[in-house]
Every structure is written in C-alpha cells, then in structure tokens.
Amino acid sequence: MPLDYPPTLQRLVAQLKSLPGLGPRSAERLMLWLVQGGKDRVRPLAATLDSLAETVAACDHCGFFIESGSACMLCHNPKRQRRLLCVVEQASDVLRLERSGAYQGLYHVLGGKLSPLDNVTPEDLRIAPLLDRAKDLDVEEVILALGSDVEGEATASYIADLLRGAGVTITRLAQGMPAGGALDHVDELTLYQALQGRRKVD
C-alpha cells in the first residue's frame, strides 16, 4: 500500500472533493491550507457549518432564507408592494433581482424547476403554496422570473396555465440583448427574441 495522508486528512479531502466545483487537486490544496492553519483557521468555519442547520430556515411564505426566530426580511417589510409577486427558481435568484434594484414587490421561491428527467414534478416544487398566496394576497400581477432554458420555460407555462382565469396579470421577464453585448456575441434565438420584443424609441 503506498503511503497516504493519515485517515482524518484523507476523510477531509474526500469531503472537500464532494463539494461542487472542487476537484481532487484543489481539495488537497485546501486540506493542506486548513491543517497548516491550525485551530484558529478551522474552528470558526466548523462552528458556522455546525450551526447552519439549526439557525437557518426557509420562510414559510416566500421561501427565502431566514434566521430561526427572526421574521422574513421580505414578507415583513411594510415598504414592499404586496400585490406584486415574483416567482423564482432558487433563493439565490431573489438576491440577483434585489441587486438589480428594479423590483419592490414580494417573492415566491419554487425551489427548483420542473424536470421529468430528474424526477422533479409539480409536487416537488412550491406551486400549490403559490396558488394559495396569489389568492390570499389578492395579487394583481405574477411575474414569472424563471430561467429561459427548456425546464424554465416548461415551468413557466405550467404555472401560467394554473393561474389563468384567476384574474391575475401574468408576465415574464423580457428576453433580448444582454447589457453590453455586441450583436456578434449573441446567438440567433436571442436575436430573434430581441427583434420580436423590440421597443419603440420615443
């Protein structure tokens, strides 16, 4: 048997390697950095990870992260427009939209997108709670801010079908040229959609 690191270090490398985006070499480099740093380097990270499952939860209403015992920063913010509901796939999408500064309404995190190949069905997503909230909040507009990949499109159509007839305006994010993008960096489908959705210049 060739020499290897002691068992604890081998276990740490295996655990680091299982993290997304970390290959065998970066896992080993990270392990060496952690073990050479001693207690001061690993303890704070270990403590945060250890408390993660206890202190962080999802808001029952919108699905964004909350700290246990504290109210949702979105749902309990009186400044936000309560009759606008923006549907996103992931909690991280909420922050992307917030950073754009273009939205002041409420959110609804689905927790994923419909994907029959990955066995993700409507029951796996927070779609039933979405319909309840749309009714309870007497929502005027539901914005489907889902990805423009196949699964995102399918999820948006599915939700739009369910909401139709409920007297709610259903909208989707505009599709078109990305900011700062030149025409020759954009694929044909994006150009097609940018042409279809062209806006009049006043």
**Chain residues 1-60 in contact with a copy of itself, contact rule CB under 8 A:** 2-9, 11-12, 15-16, 19-21, 26, 28-30, 32-35, 38-39, 42-53, 55-56
Shortest reach from residue 32's CB to a copy of itself, in Å: 5
Contact code string over 72-111 relative to a copy of itself, x by CB under 8 A: -xx---------------xxx-xx--xx-x----------
In total, the chain counts a number of residues equal to: 202
- Angle (CA) 124-87-129 rounded to 5° is 50
Integer Cα distance of 60 and 137 in angstroms? 14
Contact between 143 and a copy of itself (CB under 8 A)? Answer: no
Give strand pairing partners of 107. Answer: 86
Q: Name which position in 61, 62, 63, 66 contacts a copy of itself (CB under 8 A).
A: 66
Residue 90 structure tokens = 């992931």
- 55-84 b/e with 16+ CB inside 10 Å = b? eeeebebbbbbbeeeeebebbeeeeeeeeb
**Which lies closer to a copy of itself via its Cβ, residue 63 or residue 152?**
63
Shortest reach from residue 111's CB to a copy of itself, in Å: 9
Size of the site for a copy of itself (CB under 8 A): 53
